Amino acid sequence: MVGATSPVKENNEWSTPDWFYNYFNNIYQFKVDLAANRYNSKCISHYDKALDSLIQDWHLIDGWCWLNPPYGRHLHEWIEKAYHEMQLGAKIIMLIPASTGTSYWAKWIWNKVPKIYFIEGRIRFVDPLSKTTDPPKYDSAVIVFQVDLIVYIQNVNLFH
């Protein structure tokens, strides 16, 4: 969600590009977008700011959830929430920066989730005006939060 000029301070409503979302949707067939608004939601059903996704019971959703949370200082809250909801049975696919040295990776991701896709190449997110941004200064990872999978890590190159 962050462009080269670091717009996180200005705006946290950057959208996942359709081609990227569609790759994972073809695998998981998402039911709910857990962090969206009516303009950038990837699913028919979504939680917006008014519904406050962080207080919802994601484990009650029947099916896979898509989550490209707001990046910035509160990202760890989304990751912790996903981890706890996974323990209750939620199935969540989360797109986040591949900041593997952070405390939240150590506490909620490494050796805790069954699957991590490290994305080869950098994703150009879409700003609220539907313009593609410059590539961010960081790599991305897609985290699979589900309790009953075998653990493994996979690299994915979607930039052929």
Domain of 53, CATH number, reads: 3.40.50
Q: Which of 37-41, 94-98, 105-109, 130-134 has the lowest mean pLDDT?
A: 130-134
Residue 1 has pLDDT above 60, yes or no: no
DSSP code of 102? S
| Summary mean pLDDT of the chain | 86
Does residue 2 fall inside a structural domain?
A: no
- Count of CB atoms within 10 A of residue 4's CB? 12
Percent of the chain at pLDDT exceeding 90: 64
Torsion-angle region of 121 (φ positive above 0: left; ψ -120 to 50: alpha; else: beta): left
Assigned token pair, 122: 């950098």
Does residue 87 fall inside a structural domain?
A: yes
- Count of CB atoms within 10 A of residue 130's CB? 9
Does residue 128 fall inside a structural domain?
A: yes
Spatial distance between the Cα atoms of 78 and 56, rounded to a whole number of angstroms: 12
What is the domain extent for residue 77? 7-157
pLDDT band at 150 (very low <50, low <70, confident <90, very high): low
Q: Into how many domains does the chain fold?
A: 1
Does residue 32 fall inside a structural domain?
A: yes
